[in-house]
Amino acid sequence: MKYLLALVLLYLTACKNPFSVQLIGSLPIDSTVYVDVYDAISGKQIASDTIAEHTFVLKIDSIRAGIYTVVFSWERDILKPTELKRYARFGEEELPRYVLSKSVWLDPKESRKYTFSISEGLDQSQLEQGLLDEDWGADLNVSSKGDNFRLYQEFSEIAKKYSLANLKAKDSLKQIIYKLNESGDLESSRLLHQQLSALWVNSLRDSLVRAEVNFLKRNIATAPAPYIFYSLVNTQNDFDNYKEVYDALSPNVKETLAKRTSVYLK
């Protein structure tokens, strides 16, 4: 009888929050870390907490499958060179924070636990210095199980791959510009500097979009595909870039997205 009662209590406990997930992990930060979780589609904050020690466990109840952005932030007392003039001029009171963020597919039916980490061996000072460096390519890692989780991670790796290629291309341009300046060829240096000021160089943005479109078309019938498409399209130009993905979506999904996409349809 006691055994049966224990089973009933266990069942009721499990059913109390059938759609909950846990975000767990460890960060080498001695400062107080603020954790915020946002629905990447609506932008609504769905959870927040603080980490007083290196390890953390954040439970989120009543969560639906979808793309969420997890943001870790903590106070900093140093400004980037690009921030100094702005703060001197406008006198903002609060300094910006160090920020680590990661978009992830959360689905309690696939997994109840998502583990976050950064590169092994990285301490707080190294991490903070890296975050101040605009060309830093380090990333916040997350591991879990589930086909849709892995699919979204694979999609995210596409942008990461091209972003790193873009950083390397910009580094190469900087070296060429430096040599041109030394040789006195200021006109060529000026033209290359215009390329350097662009967000993307060497048509890498076009290559990124093509890779993302191909990936989504191959996986168009999966649960994350409509969410990813929705998150990518914010302007008419975005819609035009990813229209092949829209065309491949099922009629039911298109109907669901109608409110968002109708303004872009010509």
- Could you read off the pLDDT of 133-149 as tens digits, one per residue? 765 655 789 999 999 99
Query: Do 184 and 139 belong together in one domain?
Result: no
Same domain as 127, residue 163: no
Q: What is the mean pLDDT of residues 43-66?
A: 91
What does the pLDDT read at residue 138? Answer: 58
Residue 53 DSSP label = S
Q: In the predicted model, what is the mean pLDDT of the chain? A: 82
Tokens matching residue 131: 């975050």
Decide which of 123, 144, 165 is a domain's last residue: 144
Residue 37: is its pLDDT beyond 90? yes
Same domain membership, residue 75 and residue 33: yes
Q: Is residue 149 part of a domain?
A: no
Strands 55-60 and 141-143: unpaired
Q: pTM of the prediction?
A: 0.81
Burial (CB count within 10 angstroms: exposed 0-12, middle 13-18, buried 19+), residue 18:
exposed
Dig out the tokens for 192 from the structure.
């290359």
**Residue 104 and residue 7 share a domain:** yes
pLDDT band (50, 70, 90) for residue 219: very high
Report the alpha-carbon distance of residue 3 to residue 1 in Å, rounded: 5
Same domain? For 166 and 36 the reply is no
pLDDT exceeds cutoff 50 at 6? no
Tokens of 258: 């109608």
Give the total number of structural domains in the chain: 2
Per-residue model confidence (pLDDT) at position 172: 74
CA distance 198 to 72: 28
Tell me the average pLDDT across 199-228: 91
